[in-house]
Structure formats: C-alpha cells, structure tokens
Amino acid sequence: MYPLILRLGSPVSLVIQFIDDFTAESPLDDHIHVSIAGISACPIRKPGGTFVFTKLPEKSFDVVVRSDFYLSCSFPVELSQLDPKNPVIIVKLIPAPAYPFPSGSTVVRTRVQDHKGIALSNVSVQGTILSVNCARARLVPLGGKDSENEFALMNVLGRILPEDRFLIKARENGYAEQAQVVSYAKDQRRVRFRNPLEHRYGPGTLLLPIFETRSDSRGEAVLYFRHPSSRRFDAQIEFTISPDGSEEPRSLLQEISLEDGKEVNLAVVRL
C-alpha cells in the first residue's frame, strides 16, 4: 500500500503502476511519458514503472501515455471509484514494433494494408494459442454465488496478470469463450474474471493464453507470445478493423505454427 502523504507533505491522488505486457514485469522506465488531458500535472516518477500524482484538482479525467517502445494509449480515471487510502491502478503497456525484444523472444511481425496498399493503423491483432499443452492453467469450479466468474486453478504454468485474456475451452462438450482476468490470488491460486462465464465448465477446463496488440501509424504490428510452455505450438491470429460509420467490421483469420524463441515475419496482411 502506498502512503497517502509523501515526504513533501502532498496528498496522493493517484498511483499508476505500469507493467510490461511482454515480460510481465516492470517496463522500460525511461521511455514512458504520462500526462492528464486538460490538467497541468507533473507526476512523480518512482522506480519500477510507478507514477504518482498529487493534489489533482479534478476527480474525473483521461490519462495519456506516450512512449517510444510501447503503443500510446489513453484511459479514463474516476478517483471516486478508487480506495482513497490506496488509489492505485495497474495498467499493462503493449510493446510497439520498435520495442527491443531480447534474443530468444517468440514474436510475429507483419504489416497491415488495405487492398490499395495503404497502411492501416489501429487494426486489432489478437493471437490465441491453440495447443493444449500450452494452457496457462486449468479451471476448478467453486461452489457459491461467485462460482460463475471465480475459479480455483491447477497446473499453473507462468504468470497471470490482471487484464490478461484467455480462451476458456472445455475438453468434453466443446464450449469455448473468451474471458478477461480482473484479479489473481497467486497464494490461493484463485482467479476472478471480469464477467460471469456464459457456460458451465467442469474441472480441467483449459485456459489458453490470448495476446493482443494493434497496428501503428505505419500499419506495422508485432505480436508476442509471453512464456509459451511448449517448444512448438499452434496459434490463431485474427486481424480486425472497425471502420467509422455504418460499415461493418472486417476480419481475417490466419493459423500459424510457431517455435518458442523464434521470430516470424508474415507477408503483408490485406483487409
């Protein structure tokens, strides 16, 4: 918990803890710039990707994040919805194509264009691991009123973070759906999803990792797979563009076989 009063005597309004979505650890601090739209407020930069705002005049605002190595983003904050004694939010940063991935990373690079060869920005790119032996964990249903969105886990492989997305896939009846993590209690091995699951799942249901990114202003996208638990695995990549106006979203599915620690360059994707 962060103290409400810093040494300089200013009350803390907001603490933002950033996490690198690729490493699941602290981000590259020197390449993050955080501001609040419409408010002149300079955050206090702390070690480990933490930014502290003090004495904010507004209770509702948008936080803007810009970086050389991560995709720029913005998100709304309502201070009234945070614990005043511990006003901390955790935000994952998505690596951009310029991110210095270390040797041995499992990465897919591509460019997205329309049929005229014009680069498409902000195209959603979602990679889902399909191989059963790469499941991050297996679900164990709990009894009680929260059993639709809270589960125990077994056979956990790798880290699970808030906002992580998974494909929940039954091994017997074929049910499957996506779910996003709200919280994970590592010591109790319990996970809570943002919304109740649509189907009922038995013990051993798979949690298959989903990784998300988007194309930048040049149409370039880099999709990374954090800590796959198998040397080789199959994945499905979905590209989706949501045009403005009445035009329907367009998407393209592509299945690919990957090898842990290798970088793959796909041909240009046209939508």
Q: pLDDT of 134-173, one tens digit each?
A: 999 999 888 765 567 899 999 999 889 889 999 999 988 7
Has residue 2 been placed in a domain? no
Has residue 5 been placed in a domain? no
Q: pLDDT of 200-216, one tens digit each?
A: 888 999 999 999 999 99
Query: Among residues 93, 123, 156, which one ends one of the domains?
Result: 93
Has residue 180 been placed in a domain? yes
Mark whether 148 and 258 lie in a shared domain: yes
Which one has a higher pLDDT value, 62 or 85? 62
Those residues with Cβ within 8 angstroms of residue 13's Cβ, 6 or more apart along the chain or in another chain? 53, 54, 55, 56, 79, 87
Mark whether 78 and 205 lie in a shared domain: no
Mark whether 262 and 148 lie in a shared domain: yes
Is the separation of the CB atoms in 98 and 216 below 8 Å? no
Mark whether 185 and 260 lie in a shared domain: yes
Query: Among residues 42, 65, 93, which one ends one of the domains?
Result: 93
Mark whether 157 and 201 lie in a shared domain: yes
Distance (Å) of CA 170 to CA 130, 136, 140, 268 = 13, 14, 12, 34
Question: Of 238, 249, 241, 250, which is closest to residue 122 (Cα–Cα)?
Answer: 241
Place of tokens 């041909």: 267
Domain of residue 26 covers 12-93
Q: pLDDT of 90-105, one tens digit each?
A: 999 999 999 999 999 9
How much is the pLDDT for 222?
97
Which one has a higher pLDDT value, 174 or 122? 122
Rounded average pLDDT over 116-120: 93
Mark whether 116 and 83 lie in a shared domain: no
Per-residue pLDDT for 125 more than 50? yes
Q: How many CB atoms lie within 10 A of CB 127?
A: 21
Number of structural domains in the chain: 2
Is the separation of the CB atoms in 184 and 191 below 8 Å? yes
How much is the pLDDT for 167?
96
Mark whether 55 and 76 lie in a shared domain: yes
Residue 64, both tokens: 């803007």
How much is the pLDDT for 107?
96
Is the separation of the CB atoms in 215 and 123 below 8 Å? yes
State pTM to two decimals.
0.86
CA angle (228 as vertex; 220, 199 as ends), nearest 5: 95
